[in-house]
Homo-oligomer: A and B are copies of this chain.
């Protein structure tokens, strides 16, 4: 069943590429497959490693060139939590707005639904006469003992 779900996403990805007139290459498929294998957030370098396990011809450059496509296709989300590198995660169709809680002790990232925020940010931006494109709420926190 897991595999069926993954196949569903792969199909969506292939359709996205086709609709944009982009080519369906082994490398792009390997990178996307690799992204789906992560249960937690991953970095570009993590993704390169796992993609190479599927197709060892995948290069770092192609990973970096593919990430914007995956984001544009809405199948991957980018998470900038203020580190020098970015995190990514497969976007399993979570429709509601999510806030991130980042633990400074264990570096774990919790994502929690915060549907109210969407309204709040929109209201704030519209007061300035701007059109909202996106928003994020990040809480930096510290685990006392047993969070990890």
Contacts and interface: CB of A to CB of B under 8 A. Distances in A.
A101 B80 contact: no
Contact of A133 (B104, B124, B135, B147): B104
A40 interface: no
Q: Is the interface of A mostly helix, strand, loop or mixed?
A: strand
How many copies of this chain?
2
B125 A139 contact: yes
A60 B30 CA distance: 42
Contact of A121 (B125, B133, B137): B137
Contacts of A110: 128
A132 B144 CA distance: 11
A54 interface: no
A3 interface: no
B140 A134 contact: yes
Interface string A21-36: 0000000000000000
Interface of A: 80, 82, 99, 101, 103-104, 110, 112, 114, 116-117, 120-122, 124-125, 128-144, 146-147
Q: For the complex of A and B, list the 6 residue pairs with the smallest distance between their C-beta atoms, beginning with the closest.
A: A130-B141, A135-B139, A121-B139, A125-B141, A133-B140, A134-B140
